[in-house]
Chain A
Amino acid sequence: MNETPANATETRPSLRFEHVGQVFPASDGSRVVALEDVDFSIGRHEFVAVIGPSGCGKSTLLRVLAGLVRPTSGQVQIYGLPVNGPREEIGIVFQKPTLLPWLSIADNVTFPMKHKYGRVTPQERQRAGELLQMVGLAEFADKRPDELSGGMQQRAAIARALLHDPEILLMDEPFSALDALTRDEMSLELLNIWTQRPKTVLFITHSIPEALLLADRILVMSARPGRVREIIEVDLPRPRSLDTLTEPRFHELANHIRRQVFSRVVGL
């Protein structure tokens, strides 16, 4: 505890939720329990997907971790330190691309630096160019967001989140606004990015195939109050591809999760 070896970060969990609870006051004066006793850890460079019915507190989980919301009980730790506010090592991708319509794609990618420090260094500009190359938007750098499709905009938003090379990537249903074909393509692209630049990822989704394709572990949550129902190890071999979707084990896991998610509905 006092003497930490050099490789301690490799074995210590990067993210830890300690009995986290979150209660919001509702408009009618009652209290809504968004999270109740959520307790789990995520290892370094692990890809964890969170799945559950709507209203199960998935997004709250992400916002607590990002330091945007203080938990009403328990605490969240990043590298052993409690989260008291926004942290440098985090990049966030939201459900919608939320690019700034008055900036070019390149300026949107460097916007976090401009916004935080008031200027963008040439190195950051160059890095933005490399990231746009990586997400396949190199020739759209000078275009405005509304000239791009929804999928392309979301790629730019991913590039924006990756600009400061965050150790931790938080993604809140990032592909849910996209059509099914673009969605599969984006999932594979994200896997590709994650393989090239390993990161600890917390990925909120309501798509079971997406979670299985991407994650090392899947957190299944139940709603009202939001709790962790089960943590599933995804033992599908990597590298994964579209072929993974046809493996028998994939279907086994998918059926299992589906039963977990819908158990209340069908009364199992």
Chain B
Amino acid sequence: MSSPTTSAGRSSRVSSGSRMSARWKDGLAPLCAFIALLALWEGACRLFAIPGFVLPSPSAIAAAAGKVAPGTWAGHIGATLKVSLLGYGLSILVGIPLAIALSASKALSRTLYPLLVVVQSTPIVAVAPIIVVVLGAGDLPRVFITFLIAFFPIVVSTVTGLQATPAELIELSQSLGASRLREYRNIRLPYAIPHIFAALRISITLAVIGAVVAEFVAAENGLGYFINFSTSLFQVPQAFAALMMLVLISLILFQLVGLAQRLLFAWSLPKKSP
């Protein structure tokens, strides 16, 4: 009577246990590699007595990070996050509608695409000082620089996704006499979701880079500014600490985009092979 339920319970526990251990292995291997790298770094710094201003050891970086007041960190992190996310949001708001327009109209695509490539081919780092002069002080030039760096992959990838829709589905839509608006909303856009998210993941890291570039050029706070400030005072360990913060922010944002896709569009993820 009770044996089937217990055996079922046991088997499910076993399978969830093995899934747990698989997840552990997935997370543990890179963590071990990371710790080994840190140890190697620390060891090399001590063994060869590398000066702190050339390559500070991880322990020196941690000590430098501890010396900066938490409020100061929060201020710089908050500033960089704000610019990154505003620029990122703007590149989504502009990039996706632009991609729809480009894929819907051949004439528009022929006209605008070369222009977009020109924008993308221009080194934004070189244009950044000009943008700051034109747009003045404040967050606006920084957000705009971030947008310029982050939006291109979104446009290209979304156009690719919209056009990757199977021709038969478009024919089905046409055979039903459905409008192009519905064709885009019900078929093409959902089909583009995997492509869009691939671009969103690339663009979030680009957005952080964009914010830092903007802060290098003109800012009074933010992690990019803080790195500049620290190196100008030869406080290299402190600059490294700020760099670590940037890496951490990028990693977390990257993971959050992946999480959003898993939560909102689980179907769009590639199936794991058993």
Q: Which A residues are within 8 Å of any B CB, using their own CB? A: 63, 66-68, 85-86, 90, 92, 94-96, 98, 100-102, 111-112, 114-116, 118, 144, 146
**Contact between A116 and B169 (Cβ–Cβ < 8 Å)?**
no
Give, as a whole number of angstroms, the nearest-CB distance from A100 to chain B. 7
Complex-state Cα separation, A115 to B171, whole angstroms: 13
Complex-state Cα separation, A260 to B23, whole angstroms: 61
Task: Give which listed residue, B166, B168, B175, B267, contacts A67 with CB less than 8 A.
Answer: B175
The list of the 6 closest CB pairs from A to B, nearest first, reads A94-B168, A98-B168, A86-B175, A116-B176, A102-B267, A86-B177
**Contact between B176 and A95 (Cβ–Cβ < 8 Å)?**
no
Q: Decide if the interface of chain A is mainly helix, strand, loop or mixed.
A: loop
Complex-state Cα separation, A252 to B177, whole angstroms: 43
Contact residues in B for A63 (Cβ distance below 8 Å)? 171
**Contact between B172 and A98 (Cβ–Cβ < 8 Å)?**
yes
A94-B168, A98-B168 as given contacts; A115 in contact with B267, CB under 8 Å: no
Q: Is B109 an interface residue (CB 8 A)?
A: no
Near A by CB (< 8 A), chain B positions 221-245 give none
Q: Which B residues are within 8 Å of any A CB, using their own CB? A: 166, 168-169, 171-178, 182, 186-187, 190, 193, 265, 267-268, 271
Contact residues in A for B171 (Cβ distance below 8 Å)? 63, 66, 68, 92, 94
- Other than the known A100-B187, A114-B186, A115-B182, what 10 A-B pairs have Cβ atoms closer than 8 Å? A67-B175, A68-B171, A68-B174, A90-B175, A94-B168, A98-B166, A102-B265, A116-B176, A118-B182, A146-B267
Complex-state Cα separation, A194 to B224, whole angstroms: 70
Give, as a whole number of angstroms, the nearest-CB distance from B270 to chain A. 10
**Contact between A102 and B190 (Cβ–Cβ < 8 Å)?**
yes
A66-B175, A86-B176, A116-B177 as given contacts; A95 in contact with B168, CB under 8 Å: yes
**Contact between B271 and A146 (Cβ–Cβ < 8 Å)?**
yes
Give, as a whole number of angstroms, the nearest-CB distance from B191 to chain A. 8
Give, as a whole number of angstroms, the nearest-CB distance from A124 to chain B. 14
Contact residues in B for A85 (Cβ distance below 8 Å)? 177
Identify the closest chain A residue to B166 (Cβ): A98
Identify the closest chain A residue to B165 (Cβ): A98
Give, as a whole number of angstroms, the nearest-CB distance from B176 to chain A. 5
Complex-state Cα separation, A118 to B268, whole angstroms: 23
**Contact between A115 and B186 (Cβ–Cβ < 8 Å)?**
yes
Give, as a whole number of angstroms, the nearest-CB distance from B185 to chain A. 9
**Contact between B265 and A92 (Cβ–Cβ < 8 Å)?**
no
Show 30 A/B contacts (Cβ-Cβ < 8 Å), sorted by A.
A66-B171, A66-B175, A68-B171, A68-B175, A85-B177, A86-B174, A90-B175, A92-B171, A94-B172, A95-B168, A96-B166, A96-B168, A98-B168, A100-B190, A101-B267, A101-B268, A102-B193, A102-B268, A112-B172, A112-B176, A114-B186, A115-B173, A115-B176, A115-B178, A115-B186, A116-B176, A116-B178, A118-B182, A144-B267, A146-B271
Complex-state Cα separation, A116 to B265, whole angstroms: 24
Complex-state Cα separation, A67 to B187, whole angstroms: 20
Complex-state Cα separation, A59 to B268, whole angstroms: 31
Contact residues in A for B190 (Cβ distance below 8 Å)? 100, 102
Complex-state Cα separation, A63 to B167, whole angstroms: 12
Contact residues in A for B175 (Cβ distance below 8 Å)? 66-68, 86, 90, 92
Complex-state Cα separation, A88 to B162, whole angstroms: 27
Complex-state Cα separation, A8 to B227, whole angstroms: 86
Complex-state Cα separation, A95 to B166, whole angstroms: 11
Identify the closest chain A residue to B194 (Cβ): A101
Complex-state Cα separation, A111 to B190, whole angstroms: 14
Complex-state Cα separation, A111 to B271, whole angstroms: 24
Contact residues in A for B178 (Cβ distance below 8 Å)? 115-116
